[in-house]
């Protein structure tokens, strides 16, 4: 996967595509029982996939001007009070009652939705700040281009979690 930061929509979509393909290649070799395997961080493979899906859903909410914390079952005040580890623990807990097949299906559908949404955006849209997409006055300080959030919740995030899979020997 390219290590350089994308400078436009075409490069961003290529990073997302190649990262997703690599993740799917790693996951595709797993037998059903291996989705229950705990990795070095204590999470099961299925927890990692549910986590990635939740953050992609939060990206959809960001761009659509919807509540990102609501994706995690939180209010903005609750999200502000919790640290990232607590939010991630909530994501894993929320997915614990789902069948692995449902987690896999939601992952694919959510990813397709993210790609479709990014495809509708222009380079100018991706250069707009986070605060352009979120009307909450408390979020106005987030002036960095939304492309950074797209990268951070797609290809960069996949890469982070693929390292856990690789460290556990998945894909060898």
Task: Render pLDDT for 47-70 as a digit per residue (tens, 0 to 9).
Answer: 999 999 999 999 999 999 999 999
Q: How would you classify residue 75: left for phi > 0, otherwise alpha for psi between -120 and 50, otherwise beta?
A: beta
Q: What are phi and psi of 160, to 5 degrees?
A: -60, -45
- Provide mean pLDDT across the span 31-45: 92
44 pairs with which residues across the strands?
Answer: 38
Please tell me the predicted confidence (pLDDT) of residue 139. Answer: 62
> Where are the domains positioned within the chain?
12-167
Could you please state the CATH topology (level 3) that the domain comprising 12-167 is classified under: 1.20.120
H helix intervals, 40-122: 45-64, 68-71, 76-81, 84-95, 100-120
Q: How far apart are CA 145 and CA 129, in angstroms?
A: 4
pTM greater than 0.85:
yes
pLDDT in tens, 74-128: 988 898 899 899 999 999 999 999 999 999 999 999 999 999 999 999 999 999 9
């Amino acid at each position: 996967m390219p290590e350089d930061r994308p400078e436009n929509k075409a490069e961003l979509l290529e990073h997302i595509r190649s990262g997703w393909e690599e993740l799917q290649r790693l996951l595709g070799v797993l037998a059903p029982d291996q989705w229950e395997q705990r990795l070095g961080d204590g999470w099961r493979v299925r927890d990692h996939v549910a986590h990635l899906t939740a953050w992609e859903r939060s990206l959809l909410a960001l761009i659509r001007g919807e509540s990102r914390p609501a994706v995690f079952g939180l209010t903005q005040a609750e999200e502000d009070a919790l640290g990232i580890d607590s939010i991630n623990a909530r994501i894993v807990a929320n997915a614990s009652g789902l069948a692995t097949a449902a987690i896999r299906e939601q992952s694919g559908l959510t990813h397709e939705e993210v790609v479709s949404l990014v495809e509708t955006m222009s380079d100018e849209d991706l250069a707009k700040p986070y605060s352009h997409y979120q009307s909450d006055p408390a979020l106005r300080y987030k002036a960095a281009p939304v492309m950074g959030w797209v990268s951070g919740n797609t290809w960069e995030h996949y890469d982070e979690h693929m390292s856990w899979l690789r460290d556990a020997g998945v894909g060898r």
